[in-house]
Each structure stands twice: as structure tokens, then as C-alpha cells.
Amino acid sequence: MHGKTVLVTGGAGYIGSHTVVELINAGYDPIILDDFRNSQPWIIDRIGEITKITPTFHKVDCQDEIAVKEVVKNYPNAIGLIHFAADKAVGESVEKPIQYYQNNIGTLCTVLSAMKSFGIKHLVFSSSCTVYGDADTAIVTEESPVKEATSPYGDTKITSEKIIKYNSDAVEDFGSTLLRYFNPIGAHPSSLIGELPQGVPNNLMPYITQTAKGIREKLTVFGSDYDTPDGTNIRDYIHVMDLAKAHVKALQYLTNTECKSCVTFNLGTGKGTSVLEIIKAFENVNQLKLNYEIGPRREGDVAQIYANAEKAKEVLDWTCEYTLNDALKHSWEWEKGIGE
Ligand code: UDP
């Protein structure tokens, strides 16, 4: 391929794979670094089916600095690196804090060190709205305060943001974007790639689709006594394809403006949807009934949070193109095809 080279750690994962598709569609040449610990090698072939271009991949543990440098040294002309490789389950992080710090902080340090060694100046980083914790307002801007984390996972994101800021100050000409994701759902409209949770899903959407498919008996709604209109939690659910496009825009912003600082963006739709609203919309759009019950609250959940994403709109010229119904339909179509 002859596009501009972009390194993508965790490029076979859920958000990573959709971003690789969008990078190829935008004419880039993505190089994937992934050890498939939480993804599958056949996702790479599926990306090839979608785009007609199978991206180059290197099976490498991003905690392994020597191995990462062996790969990165082959791409001195890479215009940037998008860093997805990380552990992401809040509950698991409470059980395995050391694994989370080693992996999430370890891979970031390795990647930054490799970028420095080989002169790669632009980083796009996967952060999370979890950094806002139990925010004072339901709608948050990038200026809303970062709160003390309530899980090791959340703390790795807050700490990673700090590391990247310090690195931006310390390394000449280093530009970065911290992308604070809200709740990614949906799948590629082709149903060839999507989310592949390992074991029992923690997140709402894969739990819903697995319940609809009969893999799980019923969905438990975690609490209906919150201070929200229907008593269930409100979140900002964003289609993974819109999120993927935002990464391409963030990379273009860094390269076009020759950005030399660290810039934060919220990536959400700006709309809040309750758990019960998600269930009803999923049933309507897919013409099925979901087995669910109201259960107790889950520890650590905040009542409501959604994005003010005006900054991404203004600075990155990015807005969401898919609707919530598109996302609910695509999640279900993907689930139905898994294992076939
Ligand atoms: N949720 C639920 N049942 C589940 C999983 C999640 O009611 O089996 C709720 C959860 O309490 C939260 C929302 O769905 O209000 C989204 O949770 P998820 O874990 O997907 O994302 P989070 O917002 O916690 O990052």
C-alpha cells in the first residue's frame, strides 16, 4: 500500500478494528500491533473483506518494549500511532489491579518510549468518560473536573492522561489527543466485525444481545431507584463507527495543525438514554422481546452522565452520523452472526 503509515496498537479489538477500517477508507496504511489476548486473528481477515485491503499486522505484546521497538523501527515514516491496547473491564480491574496497572500503564510507557526512539510525533489515545467519575452535572465538558477514580481501571486512564501530558511537555514536537469515550455500541453495518466479549459480558449492550440470542437467561437492570426520570441510569451510547471516524479526524488534526500539545476531546452523541429506554428501543427496532428483570444497583455506577461534544464538532469537524436505532440494529445483526 502507498498511503501514509499509521501504527495501531490493539487494532484487532472492538474499537481498534473499526478504526482500522476507517483508516483504510481514508487512504491510510494502518499497521496493527496486537497479541490477540482479547481479540481474534480472523478479525484481520474480516477487515480485508470489508475494505478489500488486508492490513499488515504484527503479533506482539505491547508490554514488551524490545519486541515493540523491533516492530516500530521498521516504520520510521509513520505519521502517528493510535494506542488502543489495554484492559477495559472495570469489575475485573478490582480483582486484578496489578494486571491492569502493568498492562495499561506498561503498554503506554512502552509505546511512548518507542515513539521517542523512532521519532513518531503524534499519538491518539483511548481514554474514557470514567475520568469524570460521579460528575457534578449530568452533562460534562472537557473542562469538567477529573475525579478520584473508583476502580483501578479508571485510575489507569487518569494516570495515562497525566503521563501523556507530561510526555507532551518533555518531548519536542510531540502532539497528542486524549479521546474520552462515552459508551460505544453497535458494529460495522456489514456485520463482519463487532464486539467480542470474553466470558460473561460486563457491558450492557453485549449482555442484551446475548440474552436476545439465548446465551444468557435474562438481563438484570442494575437499579431503578436512581434520581432519573425512569429511575434507571442514563448514559451516552455512541455508534462504534462514529467513534472510529473520530480517531481518523483526531489524527488528521494532529498532522494538519502540526499539533505540539495535548488536547482532550469528549466523544459522545450529546444525548442521554436510560437503561429502560435502551431495552425498549432494542425490542422495537429488532422486533423481539427481551427477558429482563429489575435488580439491585451495581456498585460504582453513577446515576447519569453524557457528553457535551461541541469541542470535537468545532475543532475536529466531527459529528455522529448513526442513530441509536442504527447501533441497536447493528449490534443485534453482529451478534446473530457470531460463530457462523
Ligand atoms: N447495566 C445493566 N445491566 C447489565 C449491564 C449494565 O443494567 O447487565 C447498566 C449499568 O448499570 C449502566 C449501563 O447499563 O447504567 C451501562 O453500563 P456499561 O457497563 O455498559 O457501561 P458503563 O457506563 O458502566 O461504562
Q: Does ligand 1 come within 6 angstroms of the Cβ of 224?
A: no
Residue showing cell 489527543: 177
Q: How far apart are CA 218 and CA 63, in angstroms?
A: 37
- How much of the chain exceeds pLDDT 90, in percent? 95
Q: Does ligand 1 come within 6 angstroms of the Cβ of 275?
A: yes
Please write the tens of the pLDDT for every residue from 195-225.
999 899 999 999 999 999 999 999 999 999 9
pLDDT of residue 335 exceeding 80, the answer is yes
Between 2 and 316, the more confident residue is 316
Decide: helix, strand or coil at residue 126. strand
pTM, entire model: 0.98
User: DSSP readout, 155-210?
Assistant: HHHHHHHHHHHHHHHHSTT-EEEEEEE-EEE---TTSSS-----SS--SHHHHHHH
What sign results for the dihedral spanned by CA atoms 309, 80, 126, 338? positive
Q: Does ligand 1 come within 6 angstroms of the Cβ of 204?
A: yes
pLDDT of residue 2 exceeding 80, the answer is no
Residues constituting the chain: 340
259 Cβ contact list (under 8 Å, min separation 6): 122, 175, 176, 177, 253
128 C-alpha to ligand 1 centroid (Å) = 14
pLDDT of residue 177 exceeding 90, the answer is yes
Mutation probe of ligand 1 site: the residue of 151, 233, 236 with most atoms within 8 A of C-beta? 233
The mean per-residue pLDDT over the stretch 315-332 comes to 98
Closest protein CA for atom 18 of ligand 1 = 203
At residue 150 the predicted structure's pLDDT band, cuts being 50, 70 and 90, is confident
Cell digits for 339?
460463530
- What pLDDT score was predicted for residue 90? 87
Q: Does ligand 1 come within 6 angstroms of the Cβ of 202?
A: yes
321 C-alpha to ligand 1 centroid (Å) = 24
What's the whole-number average pLDDT of the chain?
96
203 C-alpha to ligand 1 centroid (Å) = 5
Closest protein CA for atom 5 of ligand 1 = 204
- What pLDDT score was predicted for residue 3? 80
pLDDT of residue 1 exceeding 60, the answer is no
- How much of the chain exceeds pLDDT 70, in percent? 99
Mutation probe of ligand 1 site: the residue of 222, 225, 267, 297 with most atoms within 8 A of C-beta? 222
Please write the tens of the pLDDT for every residue from 100-146.
999 999 999 999 999 999 999 999 999 999 999 999 999 999 999 99
Long-range interactions of 21-25: CB distance < 8 A, separation 24+: 21/47, 21/50, 21/51, 21/188, 21/193, 21/244, 22/241, 22/244, 22/245, 22/247, 22/248, 23/247, 23/248, 23/251, 24/51, 24/53, 24/55, 25/51
Catalytic residues: 153
Please write the tens of the pLDDT for every residue from 44-84.
999 999 999 999 999 999 999 999 999 999 999 999 999 99
303 in Cβ contact with 234 (< 8 Å): yes
